[in-house]
Amino acid sequence: MIELDTKPSAPFGQEPARPEREWSADTLAREVETPTETEPPSPEEPDLTQARSLLTQLHPSGFGEVLATEVWMPPAPPAEIEAEEPPPDRQRAWETRQELQELGLLREEFTVRHDARYEEYWNQVRDAMLLANDAIIDPYTDFAATFADIDIERIGECRREAREYGRGAEAVFEMGRAYMASGRLKSARNAFRTATKYDSQYPQAWWHLGVSHLFARANSDAVKALQHAVEQSPGDLRAELALGVACYHTKDYASAAEHLRRQVGSRGVRAGGRSMLACSMRMQEEWDDARIELGFLRESGTAYAHALADQCLDCVERGEQKRAGPLRSRRRTSQMIKSLAATAAGGVWIAYALTQDLFRKEARWASLPLFVLVLVLARALRGISGKELPMEFGNAEQGLPCWQTTTWMRPRKTEF
């Protein structure tokens, strides 16, 4: 006798139901212990010993700015060039790079960014400096690392010590450092200023007051405070460096060069200082002196310093050509053509406005194009005069500092 399968079959077009899986203790243990293949792999920690540069700037954040340090790694090696091809023109390559930046087609990203919204920022900067032995370190990164390993919990204890006789200056000074590490910049400045009133011959208090002014873009006040620090601690390289940076911000390039010259070197912060010294000379049109300093930087032995020197040498050459050379005449011709075109456009609009009698009926709206025309002409005349425009400096490669294009010299607009 043949037994028929009485189980109901699946509807037409659907797969039959599969039997339920039986779970044993061993099977369940294997399923729990085995990780799923869809979990994303954990990101690898960057090797900061290979960092190319550590650059610290102020970045827009909300209604204000926040101090941030970026770690840049070396770029990918360039593609090999055949021997028959001529070597590339560095100035033309720079112009092409600037055009790509203006169009937003050049995407270069830093590897790590730390910012002062978090209290561990100062320790992170210090640790990155210790690991990146061959990197180019700008002065601001060195200033930020000074505030590492500060016990923020001691603020209340410092307040009590400030009331004791003979301990006011030191206690208020330590309280200011704790304020700085916790992100209370205004309170830190007030504390450092109070410490200098307790003891006017306190160079560390003057130095910290000057750096806190630097971080707030109060450059003139920073120069005054740091001059006290230099006078009271002769030979202090960190005080000389900070004063040189403050003078550079106020565009007193002669004083900046005088102070930066005393602490330049070939590695780390000193290499950045030598580059800034050469930039100070370049802004004074001391072309040969700038090339001499950059020659020392180029022969320092590190590949990163060599690349930075090449970038700055190209900038010196461009600056000299703009003052007296074919580049200046070419740029002036271009600016003159743009000015004439803008003037012609404005004249056409004025003629149209007069014919339509707009100035009598709608004077507000008819005057608006004239205001725009004045702005365009003012910018064009600046280009004709031979002055350098903000975008004529720029970086040659990713991760190389350019002191004239940082947010310290040219602040960016806030996010709001």
380 found inside a domain: yes
> What's the pLDDT at 2?
46
Distances (CA, A) of 69 to 134, 159, 162: 17, 31, 33
* Dihedral pair phi/psi, residue 362, rounded to 5°: -130, 70
pTM exceeds 0.85: no
24 found inside a domain: no
336 found inside a domain: yes
377 found inside a domain: yes
**Strand 136-137 versus strand 53-61 pairing type:** parallel
> What's the pLDDT at 24?
57
Task: Give the tokens for residue 37.
Answer: 């293949």
121 found inside a domain: no
CA distance 38 to 309: 47
349 found inside a domain: yes
Q: How many CA atoms lie within 13 A of 142 on its CB side?
A: 18
pLDDT digits (tens, 9 = 90+) for 153-199: 888 888 888 777 667 788 899 999 999 999 899 999 999 999 999 99
Q: What is the domain extent for residue 342? A: 326-385
**Strand 64-72 versus strand 53-61 pairing type:** antiparallel
pLDDT lower than 50: segments of the chain: 1-5, 10, 12-15, 28, 36, 416
* Dihedral pair phi/psi, residue 95, rounded to 5°: -65, -40
Whether 413 and 61 have beta carbons less than 8 Å apart is answered as no
3-class secondary-structure state, position 106: coil
Angle at 314 between CA 309 and CA 316, to 5 degrees: 95
- Cβ-based burial of 191 (10 A; exposed 0-12, middle 13-18, buried ≥19): buried
User: Integer distance in angstroms from the first to the last C-alpha of the chain?
Assistant: 86
CA distance 69 to 115: 6
> What's the pLDDT at 1?
47
User: What length is written for the chain?
Assistant: 416
In one-letter notation, the amino acid at residue 323 is R
Closest CA to 331 of 90, 91, 102: 91
The count of domains in the chain is: 1
> What's the pLDDT at 142?
94
CA distance 210 to 204: 10
3-class secondary-structure state, position 12: coil
CA distance 150 to 121: 11
CA distance 232 to 300: 32
Number of Cβ atoms within 10 Å of the Cβ of 260: 29
368 found inside a domain: yes
> What's the pLDDT at 264?
81
> What's the pLDDT at 278?
95
CA distance 274 to 281: 11
370 found inside a domain: yes
Alpha-helical (H) ranges within 163-286 are: 168-181, 185-198, 203-215, 219-232, 237-249, 253-260, 268-283
